[in-house]
Amino acid sequence: MCGIVGYNNNFVSMSTSEVEDTLASNYTTGHWTNCENINKHKYSPDLKHSANRNKGSKMNILNFVQKENYYVLVDKIFQEILKTKIINYSKMAQLIGTSRITMSRILNVENYWIHLLDIVNICKLLRISNRKLTKNVLKIKTKNSFPTAIKYFNLNRQLARVLGHILGDGGIHIIKAENKYRAFYVNNDRHLLARFKSDITHLFGDVKIYFREREEHGDEFWLSSTIGYIFYKLLEYDKYTEKRVPSIIKDSYDHNIYSAFLQALYDDEGSVYPTKYMVIIGLANYNLLNDIRELIIKMGIKPNNILICKSKTRTTMYTFSITSRENIYNFRERINFSHPTKRKKLTKLLKRYKNR
């Protein structure tokens, strides 16, 4: 299980199997204590018919990037339009803070990667709208990463799943001095890896996705900084000092978004115990776990209290369980697992209820 560079996430030292063994052992032996101040949120009704405030709205990729660190290719006709509007190269260069040589390249060199901040400032001075600029951007990238042609994306199930996986068994390697924000996802399950790759392609088109096969700790996908920085902003890593459920998810008020997001997290961090009639999720990050619990409540499922396990030899763990026939049935219908093994265990658990 992985965290981002610089985050207080000691959980990275434990494998998935070790975590599950720890949770199972402590539930069996009763080495758990109730967390204080945990029952602040009352049961909420099902959100089946709730409205998605972001439904149908497109998010402009240019609004999620650091303009001083990105470069764009623009349409040749748009380049010609700029050329006809700019008569004095030296004056425009001075106004935007660049050289006359660079200005000449911007207006005359085909397939020239233009500094995004420069083209934005040029358009402001020429009173060209951001919408028109975006329309004429062909590709965008950072200095040392692969480009993407995607200019807009939506909050949908694919994006929600990817965000969930990055918070779960993924993260973002950050080296700010080098402008590197490399989002990654690690897992042992081929199905989850394939779906992560498919979701990225659905969101951002034919972008470069790196793959590393490893003998230990799971295989890994990672993305270039062009995409990684967008996830850095969406997950609000610039706002929090630890992983949290981001506002884009919490404020969506959409059952389908919550469902996809939670399924990804449970695929990575959850466990099913058919003989104990429970579904549990455990993390070393208390605040993230509490955020997850709040979403579970909004889905019309009643989770149990958060418990804490302090160990002399292992990382302190926080967990909560979902029990009772009704709650587990609702979990399957509204969230479920995509992880093949965990999905089968959940089916087995519900069959045991029928046979009782």
Residue 166 in this model has a pLDDT that exceeds 90: yes
* Per-residue pLDDT at 127: 97
CA dihedral 86, 92, 98, 103 (to 10 degrees): 10
**Distance in Å from the first CA to the final CA of the chain:** 36
Residue 101 in this model has a pLDDT that exceeds 50: yes
* Per-residue pLDDT at 261: 98
Name the DSSP class of 217.
S
Residue 293 in this model has a pLDDT that exceeds 90: yes
* Per-residue pLDDT at 21: 56
Widest CA span in the chain: 84
Q: List the beta bridge partners of residue 272.
A: 279
For 196-250, write each residue's pLDDT tens digit: 999 999 998 888 899 999 888 889 999 999 899 999 999 999 999 899 999 999 9
State the Cα–Cα distance between residues 253 and 49, nearest whole angstrom: 10
State the Cα–Cα distance between residues 346 and 337, nearest whole angstrom: 8
Q: Which residue has the tokens 């992880």?
A: 339
State the Cα–Cα distance between residues 266 and 280, nearest whole angstrom: 8
Cβ neighbour number for residue 100 with a 10 Å cutoff: 14
- Dig out the tokens for 324 from the structure: 């009772």
Residue 40 in this model has a pLDDT that exceeds 50: no
For the ranges 1-5, 22-26, 95-99, the maximum mean pLDDT occurs at: 95-99
What pTM was computed for the model? 0.84
Name the DSSP class of 216.
S
* Per-residue pLDDT at 188: 94
Query: What is the rounded average pLDDT of the residues 35-60?
Result: 51
State the Cα–Cα distance between residues 339 and 253, nearest whole angstrom: 25
What value, to the nearest 5°, has the Cα angle with vertex 228 and ends 120 and 107?
Answer: 25
Read off the pLDDT band of 17 (50, 70, 90): low
Mean pLDDT score of the chain, rounded to an integer?
86
Residue 67 in this model has a pLDDT that exceeds 80: yes
* Per-residue pLDDT at 23: 57
For 324-344, write each residue's pLDDT tens digit: 999 999 999 999 999 999 999
Query: What is the rounded average pLDDT of the residues 67-82?
Result: 95
H/E element, 102: helix 100-108
Residue 69 in this model has a pLDDT that exceeds 60: yes
* Per-residue pLDDT at 35: 57
Residue 160 CA: distances (Å) to CA of 187, 273, 291, 292, 333: 18, 26, 15, 13, 18
Q: Are 294 and 41 in contact (CB under 8 A)?
A: yes
Name the DSSP class of 38.
-
Query: What is the rounded average pLDDT of the residues 117-135?
Result: 96
- Identify the weakest region by mean pLDDT among 16-20, 71-75, 125-129, 202-206: 16-20
How would you class 4 by CB atoms within 10 Å of its CB: exposed for 0-12, middle for 13-18, buried for 19 or more? buried
Q: Which domains does the chain have, with CATH numbers?
A: 10-52+155-354 (3.10.28.10), 70-142 (1.10.260)
